[in-house]
Structure 1
Amino acid sequence: MELDRAGRVPATPSVLARLATQPVLPTLARLSVLPALAVAGWLLAGLPLLLLGWFAPLPATLLGVPPAALLCWAGARRLGAIAGDPPGDGGAPWQVAGVVGVAAASGVVNAIMHSEQVAVRRDPATYTQYAAWIAAHGELPVPTQVEAFGGPDPALVFKSVGFFAADGAVVPQFMPGPPMLFAIGHWLGVPFLVPAVLGALAVLTVAGVVARLAGARWALVGATAFAVSLPILYTSRTTFSEIPSLILLFGGVALAHDALARRERGRALLAGLVFGLAVLVRVDGLRDVLPVLAFAGLLIGMRRLRRPVGVVGPPLLAGLVAGAGLGMLAAYLLARPYLSYLSGSVRPLLLICAGVLVLTAAGTAAAPALARVRLPPWLPRTGAVLVVLLMAALYARPWVQTVTRVPDNPDDRRTFEMIEQIQRANGLPADGTRLYFENSLHWVTWYVGAPAVLLATIAAALLVRRLLRGGSSFEWLLPLAIVGWTTVTTLLRPEITPDHPWAARRLVPVVIPGLILLAAYGLARLRRLTDRHGPVVLRWGMALAVLLVLAPPAVTSIGTAFTPVERGEAAAVEAMCARIPADASVLTVERVTGDRFVQVVRGMCGRPAAQVARRGASDLAPESEVRRLAERVRAAGRVPVVLGAEDWHVAPYGTPSQVMRLVTRQDERSLTEAPNGTWSLRMNVWMALA
């Protein structure tokens, strides 16, 4: 809670009055909240349809477009003074046009350079297969069609990478929010372009938040720095969950800012709902919105103290609970095996949520007593110093810590082996226990640049000091809490395979846009300092500062920005499907082929598919088991088809025929420096009619 120098809650009008009298960029204000509201409306309609098995183009359009339009109208109407610049410095139409231009250019470039990740090697292809299935069938779970193999058999394995076995069916990994968005592309015949559209909308969203909190003149700078950052390019070109999550989180920040400025309950309800629906997109969204829970409790406490701004607290909390509740319901009904798989992380997170809820309730109940507490005069400066020391400690972490993990389960063992393979490719000593998490802040400097990180650190320190002193920065409290909490927790434990650009996706939902937001505020403060030294210093000094913010991320991205990866997979899969008989039941006899193509054959080719169980550490299924299962398939009246990665994998069962031969590019896997190129990728599939 922000207190004045005497330790009292300041009168709300004096804290927020300037927000209602600022110069405006109403077009940017509206544009920047529309993406989150549209996404929220679509998800609200799509989830019940998916649960009922009716997620198809017509019902989704009829039930999804109206609520999306209604939310957009409710959230964007009567938006006025939202920019955080001093009077007379509220921006100009060319700045709005510049932001829209950057967003459009981002969308076009990423659409042209889109990735086609179809074979299930990593998460994007899992999302692709998830979206393709629900777009075509409208329901979950995915049936195994076990009758096409002559009935259940212990040697039949229907699960594969990204797809869990559950109650005689297959359940996709991950939350259903992103696939419900990506399914739109499948319906429109452009399955790989939706990520680029979402990336462009994310640029608008971030620019709107920058305009509100740092000033309208910095929206274009923030939009550009965000759009050219490599992790943003990377996650805007294929089916990741991070960009939709970002849209909801930063859209929620913008809506909450507007609700506070106008003390509008309806907009506060929308803000809470948008925040909460981030859980429907990513399980990690539960962690990201914890500060919103605490902030809503603070506002309710202020309402008890008869502060006018407190009226937005209850609707903010109600919206948050409704949105997050829908997300958790979807997780329980549609992704329960995934939650079980993540139980080691989810259970502690739920305990933390419960603890925050208890503390928030206690703080709200004790609000009158807490309002009389006087903060010590040394606290503001100490808080600012601690921010700087924390960032310095994160930066120095590689010199004092080496993060490792000894594998104790099959998944960790596979990660261990993958890291060793990458280390050998990078010319590094082989040590699969290394996780490289100690380098996490260095990852950030690769992608946004050291100057931006430095500016963001200084800005965060200044804001913490102002908030603790009872200054006029209350509108920053929630954004700073979200950015600070998620940035620190993410950098401490990224919990991802540490090769880049893959690991960079962890920085996308909050860390990179949050630091760019703070860096923009730092530029605004720097401009006020340079303004004291005359127009020449102001002009050239700020030009240099802006260049230092924009150039490093652009330089890092240039090595991969114009090289598409995994192109040709869609055509290769289509050609493979055409070669598989319509009445086939497909058995994969080799590990890699099974991992990559079981769900592809089931979902995109429309043929029943299963892996044949392997024994021990072998990558090949026993020949006797394959022959036995082939006989069961024939007895069921179908054609047994065997797939493998090499001709000799399938030769024992029939004449080998190569049905896929793809040579393309894949992402680089860099462990100790920013990625600056791509690697070759070959995929082969051989088929035999058994």
Structure 2
Amino acid sequence: MTPQTHDVPDERPPGSRGERLSGVVLARSGPLAACFLAFTGLLAAVLVPFGGWIPWLVVPLLVIALAASVRLVRFVPATAAPAWVAPAVVAIAAGHGVWAALTHAEHVVLRRDAGSYALYTQWIATRHGLPIPSWLEAFGGSAALTDPAFRLSSPAYYQVVHGSAGAAGTSVDIVPQFLLGAPSVYSLGWWAAGWNGVLVMPAICSALAMLGFAGLVARLLGPRWAVLATAALVLSQPVLHAARSTYSEPIALLLVTVACALLADAVTAGNPLRVKGFLIPGVHGTDDPRLARRIGLAAGLAFGLAGLFRIDGLREVSLLLPVAAVLALRRHPATRPLVLGALGSTAVAAIPAVWLSRPYLGTISASLIPLIGGGVVLGLGSLAVVLVARRLEGRPAPALGARLTSPAWQNRWPWLLAGATALVGVVLAARPLFMITRQDPDDPGSRVVAGLQLLQGLAVDGGRTYAEHSLNWISWYAGPVVVIAGWLVFAALAAAVGRWWLNSAARGSSSSMLEGRTAGVPFWLGPAVIAFGSTLLTLYRPGITPDHPWADRRMVTMVIPAFVVAATAAATWVTRRVRRSRPWAGTGAVAVAAVVLLLPPWLATQPLAGQRTEKGEVAAVQKVCAELGANDVVLALDNRAANEWPQVVRGVCDRPSASVKITDINDTAAVAEVVRPIVARIAAAGNRPVLLAGTPEGEAVIEALGLTSRQVVDLETIEDQRHLTRVPDGEDELDIDVWLADATGVS
């Protein structure tokens, strides 16, 4: 078979002009968006550490990157699709993005991750680099570090000391918690429209992610089903919730779905022309090794560069390695570029993570080290299997191997694999009956959980993670039918993998695990393995504070999309069976599938569809900044003020800020004595000390110091509910108060 050698495959796929354009949009819009955002993250990794994230430099480079992205995605194969499909998908994605933008949160007063990302974005967009200076000299210099009550750090912003406390030349940097990728993308919104631009950027990225998801479904199940699956995903409350706030999940969802789609394309391009489909009818092979290598490299790069945006992108890269081993055993041409692209881009993504986010990596080491270790084990194990198989090539099969591949066992293996997969689902669903998952009770998250348990009338056990209920969390939003149908499809795919492997081996040499490329590889194998493995690991250990809807964002990147695709696959199978026996009932089967896929997420989302949390916080921040003068140095008094305001004051108000570490805010006399020496050092440095309180208890400390406070913020807004054991269906009230006081007289 002579391979095709054209540079731009399928540039004019068969069909009408509208069908060709529809196919191009489905196939390439997601990769185009992912390529541009990956370029943005890479550019930030180069420029931000050196203070070069400047609009006049970055924007022209990104224009070039966009042009390069348009050029690069022309290599992505595109086949004709019904002319109405792409407009429908674009309309769904755009509607999702517009609605998320209209209902966006204003989480800029830092309480949780969205506030951290927003302030991180604001800093690099306006100061152009990292790390964040501490302005230690404004607090009296290095001597301030010898005071145990003085701290420059705050949640999500770490204090990194260079030198020894009290020593000459000692300096302090403030290092933000998360990875650079998402803030670099969201900073484009700041340059366009300030806070409003930043706060709607996640909605734009989420809309682009829907295009990537639709392209994946179109490849796996057919273009028509992409419309239904995308509609089901945008109706999911966790997806909408992530799109409303400055989280990294929308970008990660785009990168991962596009990577899976490109992986399917790479396998198809390297398959023989005669390979037939499993999930959808037709032939899935073009026998173009050159194209397979190119797209395989692109898929590997997409998997690895997701690590610029989320650290758990390592999980998908690790799961990719066994898939690459299967491709190697079948001598697929995409194998080597896929692995090199994934490992190389992972190494590239690790550089800014270690350089700019090292304290954050240290705090998550309990999760990160097992993740890295698991990846190493999977990689070395996969390599060992391939090397051993190649050494055994041409030799007689061992007796045990011959027995396990005998005709009798060939009929059993698919059923065993399907049964094992189904059993895993049953065990996950049944975990609440026999298991209570816990974490270290001394973890800060445990104290949060204990407080929520007390408020919600639950037994106080702060170490609980509630991870045993993780599968039930999915059923809240997708419905139990989707969860059951999805897991049955996982089991069916496990059986299909076993059947394909045994049948393809039977057509090759019985004495070798390597029979060449005579049978090809199922194009869906890689996405299925990665989606199932990532879903299983996430459900087993979500690794997040278990209040909802906060915890549900852990399911956005892979878990909910995997269940939506799997349940849609079940719908395609049922519909085709119905049409085969009763053609007149096909429309009814599609209608039933639509109800099953769309109604449960709509019912879960509807109570929160118009919710807009944290509204008014941008104005509150502006009020605080307006009250501060050029020589003011702010000291946050109570714990709430210390959590929420130091980085706001430092980054948005451009004033030095620190906080007081206290154990009992109600002991105002003791707190006042702790505050006095800090205030004295600020005044001695030639600055005006300003005390900031966020609670009435903090204001009482101001009064105990003999000062007069003025309330500059009195905001009544709403925030997300924080349920531990039930689906959120409303909002909680949130009061934000700020009192300021001139503390010059204290010194």
Q: TM-score, normalising length from structure 2?
A: 0.84
Which amino acid is 1:601 matched to? V
Partner of 1:70: 68
Other-structure match for 1:638: 687
Partner letter of residue 382 of structure 1? L
CA distance in 1, matches of 2:211, 2:338: 23
Aligned residues, how many?
Answer: 657
Q: Does 1:648 align with 2:704?
A: no
39-48 or 206-215, which deviates more: 39-48
Residue range with higher mean Cα deviation, 122-131 or 533-542:
533-542
Matched, 1:446 2:476: yes
Closer, same or farther: CA 608–253 of 1 in aligned 2, 3 Å: same
Distance 2:521 2:232 in 1: 24
Partners of 1:590 and 1:619 within 8 A in 2: no
CA displacement, residues 70-95 of structure 1 (integer Å, 9 cap, x when unaligned): 134212446223xxxxxxxx741112
Corresponding position of 1:517: 565
- SS in structure 1 at match of 2:258: helix
Which residue of the other structure, out of 719, 724, 737, is the alignment partner of 1:684? 737
In the alignment, the residues of structure 2 paired with residue 319 and residue 649 of structure 1 have an alpha-carbon distance, to the nearest angstrom, of 57
Give 2:41's aligned residue.
43
**Equivalent of residue 611 in structure 1, options 642, 649, 659:** 659
Contact 1:463 1:473 in 2 (8 A): no
- 1:144 corresponds to 2:131: no
Structure 1 residue 52, shift from structure 2 partner: 2.0
User: Could you say which residue in structure 2 is the equivalent of 1:482?
Assistant: 530
Residue in structure 1 matched with residue 280 of structure 2 by the alignment: none
Gap change, CA 1:660 and 1:545, over 3 Å in 2: same
Question: Corresponding residue for 1:278?
Answer: 306
Q: Where in structure 2 are the equivalents of 1:540-689 lying within 5 Å? A: 540-615=588-663, 622-645=671-694, 646=696, 647-651=699-703, 652=705, 654-689=707-742
1:154-303 alignment, distance < 5 Å: 154-155=146-147, 156-167=150-161, 168-189=172-193, 190-263=197-270, 264=291, 265-303=293-331
Structure 2 CA distance for aligned equivalents of residues 57 and 381 of structure 1: 58
Offset of 1:594 from its aligned partner?
0.8
Matched, 1:317 2:339: yes
For 1:401, the equivalent position in structure 2 comes to 435
Residue pair 1:39, 1:68 contacting (<8 A) in 2 also: no
| Higher gyration radius (CA) | 2
Residue in 2 aligned with 1:458?
A: 488
Instruction: Give the counterpart letter for 2:581 in structure 1.
Output: H
* 1:109 equivalent in alignment to 2:109: no
Instruction: Specify the alignment match of 2:28 in structure 1.
Output: 30
Deviations 1:431-472 (A, max 9, x none): 323221111000011111112212211222222111111178
Secondary structure in structure 1 of the residue aligned to 2:458: coil
For 2:67 and 2:530, locate their aligned partners in 1 and report how far apart those are by CA, in whole Å: 28
Distance in structure 2 (CA, Å) of the matches to 1:41 and 1:570: 30
> In the alignment, what sits opposite 1:307?
none
**8 Å Cα contact 1:466/1:473 also seen in 2:** no
Is 2:112 the partner of 1:122?
yes
Q: Per-residue CA shift, 1:369-390, capped at 9, x if unaligned?
A: 5776664311111111111111
* 1:467 matches 2:497: yes
Partner residue of 1:529? 577
Please tell me the residue identity of whatever aligns with 2:350. M
Amino acid at match of 1:180: S
1:72-111 to 2 correspondences below 5 Å: 72-77=70-75, 79-81=77-79, 91-111=81-101
Q: Determine the structure 1 residue equivalent to 2:353.
A: 331
Secondary structure at the residue paired with 1:251? helix
SS in 1 for 2:33: helix
Secondary structure in structure 2 of the residue aligned to 1:447: helix
Contact 1:659/1:686 (<8 A) preserved: yes
SS in 2 for 1:193: helix
The CA deviation string for residues 46-99 of structure 1, in whole angstroms up to 9 with x for no partner, is 210112221111222222332343134212446223xxxxxxxx7411121111
Moved more, 214-223 or 256-265: 256-265
Distance change >3 Å, CA 653–CA 126, structure 1 → 2: farther
Unaligned runs of 5+ in 2: 4-8, 162-171, 271-290, 504-519
SS in 1 for 2:25: helix
What is the CA deviation profile of residues 220-268 of structure 1, one whole-angstrom value per residue up to 9, with x for unaligned ones? 0011000010000000001111111111111111122222222422222
CA RMSD of aligned residues (A): 2.2
Q: Write the distance in 1 (CA, Å) between the matches of 2:222 and 2:671.
A: 66
* Structure 2 residue 466 is the aligned partner of structure 1 residue 436: yes
Could you tell me the percent identity over the aligned residues?
A: 34
- Mapped partners of 2:260, 2:212: distance in 1: 10
Distance 1:448 1:529, change over 3 A: same
Question: Distance between the aligned counterparts of 1:578 and 1:213, measured in 2?
Answer: 55
Query: Structure 2: which amino acid aligns with 1:92?
Result: P
Q: For the Cα contact (< 8 Å) 1:209–1:517, is it kept in 2? A: no
In the alignment, is the contact (CA less than 8 A) between 2:267 and 2:522 conserved in 1? no
d(CA) in 2 for partners of 1:114 and 1:318?
39
Residues 1:619 and 1:518: Cα distance change in structure 2 (over 3 Å) = farther
CA apart distance, 1:294: 2.6
Alpha-carbon distance between aligned partners in 1 of 2:490 and 2:641, rounded to the nearest angstrom: 49
Amino acid at match of 1:227: V
1:569, CA displacement in angstroms? 0.4
3-state SS in 2 of match to 1:661: strand
* 5+ residue gaps, structure 1: 1-10, 14-18, 82-89, 304-309
* Matched-pair contact (CA < 8 Å) for 1:296–1:313: yes
d(CA) in 2 for partners of 1:636, 1:12: 78
For 2:375, the aligned partner's letter is: C
By how many angstroms is 1:597 displaced? 0.4
| Deviation at residue 299 of structure 1 after TM alignment | 2.7
Correspondences of 1:358-369 after superposition (within 5 Å): 358-368=380-390
Deviation at 1:22, TM superposition (A): 9.6
Q: Give the aligned partner of residue 498 of structure 1.
A: 546
Give the distance between the partners of 1:12 and 1:511, measured in 2 at CA: 41
- Normalised by the length of structure 1, the TM-score is 0.91
**Aligned residue in 2 for 1:306:** none
Letter matched to residue 407 of structure 1: P
Which structure is richer in relative contact order (CA contacts within 8 A, separation 6 or more)? 1
The CA distance in 2 between the partners of 1:416 and 1:273, in whole Å, is 37
Corresponding residue of 1:84: none
Could you tell me how far apart the structure 2 residues matched to 1:619 and 1:98 are? Answer: 62
Cα offset, 1:546, TM superposition: 1.8
Say whether the 8 Å CA contact 1:102–1:223 is kept in structure 2. Answer: yes
Task: Tell me, in whole angstroms, the C-alpha distance in 1 between the residues paired with 2:93 and 2:31.
Answer: 14
